[in-house]
């Protein structure tokens, strides 16, 4: 085994939820902290099993490695997911440290308790976001805001479709005239 294979590595993990978000802050912070290997992805943090780069990182860990991320919710939103990640890191003989939350460091005696509490807080925050979104959606609906796709046909066009069909025009011809599918015409 070469010395590079046996020496501990500093491994970074960066994640954002959507393709439109930027990883630059996290990547810069991880590079400045000495990460020699980085895993990054643009995926939701809700489910750790739908994040292939996180899974690759966890599978690659060796004894003595140190995993760095910027904050808790980059690793996991759910405290149980965070504890499972921590369990995998510890099982590999590695450590986990969060750069913007220095109290999260698996080398301390209180790390399990702190990681659980911070993970719980992230889950609580996510629940609040979902509740706020639902309340906003409900208020918008009361104001008459329509959700979902816009109808393919206006009310006037729908009347025209009905009239054409009553006059015996074929579905395929009506659909072609309006530039929509036959199923759209059949639903009218």
CA-nearest of 3, 11, 2 to 92 is: 11
Assign 179 to helix, strand or coil: coil
Same domain, residue pair 40 and 120: yes
Same domain, residue pair 118 and 172: no
Q: Enumerate the active-site residues.
A: 17
Same domain, residue pair 89 and 180: no
In the chain, what are the helix, strand and coil shares in percent, each to the nearest 5? 55, 10, 35
Q: Residue 3's pLDDT band (boundaries 50, 70, 90)?
A: very low
Is the pLDDT confidence value at 127 over 80? yes
116 Cβ contact partners less than 8 Å away, ≥ 6 residues apart: 79, 82, 83
Per-residue model confidence as pLDDT tens digits over 16-49: 988 878 899 999 999 999 999 999 999 887 777 8
Contact 45, 99 (CB under 8 A): no
138 assigned to some structural domain: no
Is the pLDDT confidence value at 2 over 50? no
Per-residue model confidence as pLDDT tens digits over 68-116: 999 888 988 777 788 888 889 989 999 999 998 877 777 677 777 776 7
User: What is the distance, to the nearest Å, from the Cα of residue 87 to the centroid of all Cα atoms in its chain?
Assistant: 21
Does the pTM exceed 0.75?
no
Same domain, residue pair 83 and 162: no
Percentage of the chain exceeding pLDDT 70: 96
Is the pLDDT confidence value at 138 over 80? yes
Give the whole-angstrom CA distance, residue 101 versus residue 21: 21
| Count of Cβ atoms closer than 10 Å to residue 75 Cβ | 27
| Amino acid 79: pLDDT | 74
Same domain, residue pair 180 and 107: no
Domain that residue 123 falls in: 3-129
Q: 37-42 and 95-98: which strand pairing?
A: unpaired
Which tokens hold the place of 167?
A: 């006059």
Give the whole-angstrom CA distance, residue 188 versus residue 183: 9
Same domain, residue pair 119 and 161: no
Is the pLDDT confidence value at 6 over 70? no
| Amino acid 7: pLDDT | 83
| Amino acid 87: pLDDT | 85
137 assigned to some structural domain: no
181 assigned to some structural domain: yes
Contact 151, 157 (CB under 8 A): no
Same domain, residue pair 27 and 90: yes
Same domain, residue pair 87 and 19: yes
Q: Strand (E) positions, the chain?
A: 10-16, 37-42, 66-69, 95-98
Domain end (from 91, 114, 129): 129
136 assigned to some structural domain: no
Percentage of the chain exceeding pLDDT 90: 48
165 assigned to some structural domain: yes
Same domain, residue pair 163 and 123: no
């Amino acid at each position: 085994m070469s010395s590079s294979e046996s020496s501990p590595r500093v491994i970074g993990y960066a994640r954002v939820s959507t393709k439109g978000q930027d990883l630059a802050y996290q990547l810069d912070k991880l590079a400045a902290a000495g990460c020699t290997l980085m895993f990054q992805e643009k995926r939701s943090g809700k489910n750790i099993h739908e994040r292939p780069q996180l899974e690759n990182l966890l599978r690659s860990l060796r004894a003595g490695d140190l995993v760095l991320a910027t904050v808790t919710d980059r690793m996991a939103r759910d405290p149980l997911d965070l504890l499972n990640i921590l369990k995998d890191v510890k099982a590999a003989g590695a450590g986990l440290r969060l750069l913007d939350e220095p109290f999260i460091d698996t080398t301390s005696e209180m790390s399990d308790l702190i990681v659980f509490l911070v993970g719980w807080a992230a889950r609580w925050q996510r629940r609040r976001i979902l509740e706020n979104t639902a309340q906003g959606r409900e208020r918008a609906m009361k104001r008459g805001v329509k959700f979902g796709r816009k109808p393919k046909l206006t009310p006037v066009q729908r009347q025209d479709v009905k009239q054409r069909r009553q006059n015996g025009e074929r579905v395929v011809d009506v659909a072609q005239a309006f530039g929509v599918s036959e199923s759209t015409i059949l639903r009218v």
